[in-house]
Amino acid sequence: MTADPTATATPDTDWYDRDTRTIAGVEKLRFFPQVAATGHGTYLITPSGRQVLDLSASWTASGLGHGHPRIVEAVTAAMAAPPGASLLSGTHPHAVRLAEELLDLVPTTGRHRRVYLGHAGTDANDVALRAARHATGRRRIIAFEHGYHGGLGTSMAISGVHIDAGASPEPDLTLVPYPDPYRPWIDPDTLLADTMALVQRHLADGDVAAVIVEPIQSDGGVIVPPAGFLTRLRVLTRQYAALLVVDEVKVGLSRTGHLMAHHIEDVVPDIVTLGKALGGGLPLSAAIGPASALDTPAASALMTTIGNPVSCAAGLAVLDILRDGALAHAAQDRGAQLTEALRHYAASDRPGAAHIGDIRGRGLAIGVELVEAGTKTPDPVLAAKAVLAGWHLGIIAYPVRGNVIEVTPPLTITHDEVTTATHLLTEAIDWAALGHVTDDDIAPYSGW
Ligand SMILES: Cc1ncc(COP(=O)(O)O)c(C=O)c1O
């Protein structure tokens, strides 16, 4: 590749090398030598001053862009006069107001409802599942193959992505195939019906505390399920008195064009979990659900900084920004613009076009599936090469499920930035298809 990242030490490569020598973990989910010294809006800026368009939004944790002025203002004020740092043994207005607003914005079942405020999607899902087990007196969790719900504890042990990578599954776990219209696990004509029949069979076996589901399976490949999937899950879980936990950590908060991704169907879950974008770049998560589950010892997570006022102030600012629905509309418009431009590319005779197997998504949660030309065979090596090329060309986008490039930019991305982004992304796929990136170039990056 023309730009060999290790050829000469630059301020950017120097930081990356020092990270390698100091920051723990061999599997750091690195895809290219990404280093950012600062950021604003849709851009991250490297120490040497290079501006890179961030089409990941830090895996959606910077969902409203980097350094949104209203979040900066709220956080600065909260930090300057903090009412302590914890919710553990005393409350404060930021947490109470955030919980009230979440209860108002996110319908869930039950007359008496509560909000758990945590640090990350991982603990929100952990708490939700522990609470569901406690409330139902049952043990079994039904989750979906290749799903992602967290990186520790129960959340990790029910996540198909981790189990695929060798993690030990939770003993009382049943994994069911997610209904993937592009790669159906069964006859495409009966995909939804057969998936639901399978879920029903497992529910009927008994002892199921909860079914946990992503409304779009994100790290599993940005898979948009067929219409009616969530509605039918709701009907079945109600029939068997299991809790329906909808994990909105990645695609919630307006990314799909709806405040919650599951609002596309007329579904009221028992528990909804949120994270990532909720904190506007700070660690913050929530589980919203019935008091009968969340007001139990099983739902407590005694971590000192849960409900941290600065994070809660950021969360309040995020909800305030989303309130008028303008960013949900923008997500629809910019998502349509991005998808259309990518489809135009896929239909062209450019070098990478034949490698586009599928383009799918909703709003600004988009997946571009790369395959061997003219087949449906996944091409994860090509995807690894394309995202590395993308970094050198000036975009950040990561692959999920190996061969799917995930595009989840900040919801604040502009029309012109989408034009630039699609130009650079398609160029990167062309570079990879033309062999401008070698196996040696991608070898240093652990990926998933
Ligand atoms: C759907 C979903 N749930 C939960 C999580 C875990 O969130 P966190 O990494 O903030 O713990 C993720 C992270 O990617 C996710 O995509």
The helix/strand/coil state of 201 is helix
The residue type of 360 is: R
Phi, psi angle pair for 167, to nearest 5°: -70, 150
Look at residue 13 in the predicted model and tell me its pLDDT: 87
Look at residue 9 in the predicted model and tell me its pLDDT: 66
Q: How far is the CA of 126 from the centre of ligand 1 (A)?
A: 11
Between CA 276 and CA 252 the distance in angstroms is 9
**Averaged pLDDT score across all residues of the chain:** 96
Phi, psi angle pair for 243, to nearest 5°: -80, 140
Element (H, E) at 356: strand 356-362
Q: How far is the CA of 361 from the centre of ligand 1 (A)?
A: 18
Look at residue 8 in the predicted model and tell me its pLDDT: 60
The DSSP annotation for 367-419 comes to EEEEBSTTS--B-HHHHHHHHHHHHHHTEE-EEETTTEEEE---TT--HHHHH
Which residue from 59, 123, 149 has its CB within 8 A of the most atoms of ligand 1, so it is best to mutate?
Answer: 149
For the residues 245-254, what does the mean pLDDT come to? 98
334-343 pLDDT, tens digit each: 999 999 999 9
23-51 pLDDT, tens digit each: 998 778 999 999 999 999 999 999 999 99
CA distances from 291 to 92, 103, 155, 336, 408 (A): 20, 12, 21, 39, 33
Look at residue 1 in the predicted model and tell me its pLDDT: 60
pLDDT at position 4 over 80: no
Q: How far is the CA of 125 from the centre of ligand 1 (A)?
A: 9
Cβ of 214 closer than 6 Å to ligand 1, yes or no, is yes
pLDDT at position 372 over 50: yes
Cβ of 120 closer than 6 Å to ligand 1, yes or no, is yes
Contacts of 180 (CB under 8 A, 6+ apart): 191, 217, 221, 223, 225
Q: Which atom of ligand 1 is nearest to the CA of 276?
A: 10
Q: How far is the CA of 320 from the centre of ligand 1 (A)?
A: 23
Tokens representing residue 298 in the block: 């099983």
Q: How far is the CA of 61 from the centre of ligand 1 (A)?
A: 10
Q: Which residues are catalytic?
A: 148
Q: Which atom of ligand 1 is nearest to the CA of 219?
A: 16
Cβ of 249 closer than 6 Å to ligand 1, yes or no, is yes
Between CA 290 and CA 235 the distance in angstroms is 18
301-322 pLDDT, tens digit each: 989 999 999 999 999 999 999 9
Q: Which atom of ligand 1 is nearest to the CA of 59?
A: 14
For the residues 111-128, what does the mean pLDDT come to? 98
The DSSP annotation for 8-72 comes to S--HHHHHHHHHHHHS--S----SS----SEEEBTEEE-TT--EEEESSTTTTTTTT-BT-HHHH
Q: How far is the CA of 82 from the centre of ligand 1 (A)?
A: 28
Which residue from 250, 251, 253, 311 has its CB within 8 A of the most atoms of ligand 1, so it is best to mutate?
Answer: 250
Long-range (24+ apart) CB contacts under 8 A made by 295-299 are: 295/114, 296/131, 296/134, 296/135, 297/134, 298/130, 298/131, 298/133, 298/134, 299/116, 299/127, 299/128, 299/130, 299/131, 299/134
Q: Which atom of ligand 1 is nearest to the CA of 152?
A: 11
Q: For residue 300, what pLDDT band results from cuts at 50, 70 and 90?
A: confident
Q: For residue 6, what pLDDT band results from cuts at 50, 70 and 90?
A: very low
Pick the residue whose CA is nearest to atom 4 on ligand 1. Answer: 149
pLDDT at position 3 over 90: no
Cβ of 212 closer than 6 Å to ligand 1, yes or no, is no
Cβ of 156 closer than 6 Å to ligand 1, yes or no, is no
| Residue whose C-alpha is closest to residue 128's, from 275, 319, 318 | 275
**CA atoms 412, 416, 421, 426: torsion sign:** positive
Between CA 269 and CA 307 the distance in angstroms is 23
**What length does the chain have?**
448
CA distances from 126 to 32, 170, 181, 448 (A): 31, 12, 29, 22
Element (H, E) at 309: helix 309-322
* Strand ranges, E, within 162-205: 173-176
Look at residue 28 in the predicted model and tell me its pLDDT: 82
